[in-house]
Amino acid sequence: LAKVKKFISLLAICIIFVANLALADVTIIQFVEVGPLNHNKNGIVEILENNNIPYKYYNAQGQATLAKQIINKVMSEDDNLIVTITTPVTLLAISSRTKASQPIVFSAVSQPFGAKVIKKDDYLENHITGATDHPPIDKTVELIDEVFKPKKIGFLYCNSEPNSIESLRELKRITHGKY
């Protein structure tokens, strides 16, 4: 819980900073309602409300088509700050921006570099920032080895999500083919 609060606090600082620079509305777009993502949204909303920053909230209910419609609507309204929750919504928002200067603050993007949400050499110029929820794969493997001493490790991933594929690559790199 302490890590979640630190994460939300860091993200909130980014949002408040950008919102104050933009002096305008904030739009929060969430891909699907699930516990950890709802915690992100609730923390962001609480900080915005406590600082009297106006916002709108949309949820795509896990539907890519609805997410695209929401993003198109938001982009046509010319809101100054877009806050995205999850990789799919973040990628849609970036690809749908009408102005490259439109700021996006992302949350719950596990592999922002691997998913090409941001690039290591130009993320400042792209007006994109945020916080990752990348799991500590190396520490997880250490714990699994220590506690279970397994012969094999399974890893669930989605081959259509770049962050998922990048996490699998990291697992393979860390385990050196041990499993």
What is the structure's pLDDT at 134?
A: 76
Q: How far apart are CA 127 and CA 34, in angstroms?
A: 28
List, in order, residues 6 or more apart from 130 with CB less than 8 Å away. 11, 14, 84, 90, 104, 105, 106, 107, 109, 112, 117
User: pLDDT tens across 77-120, in order?
Assistant: 866 789 999 999 999 999 998 777 788 889 888 888 877 888 76
What is the overall mean pLDDT for the chain? 82
Q: How confident is the model at residue 17 (pLDDT cuts 50, 70, 90)?
A: low
What's the rounded mean pLDDT across residues 144-160? 86
More confident residue, 164 or 174: 174
Distance of CA 109 to the CA centre of its chain: 3
- The Cβ of residue 107 has, within 10 Å, a number of other Cβ atoms equal to 28
User: pLDDT tens across 114-149, in order?
Assistant: 778 887 666 556 788 888 877 788 888 888 888 888
Nearest of 70, 36, 166, 54 to residue 110 by alpha carbon: 166
- Quote the Cα angle for 116-121-124, to 5°: 85
Q: What is the pTM of this model?
A: 0.72
What is the structure's pLDDT at 13?
A: 59
Q: How far apart are CA 144 and CA 129, in angstroms?
A: 33
Give the tokens for residue 149. 């001493």
Q: How confident is the model at residue 67 (pLDDT cuts 50, 70, 90)?
A: very high
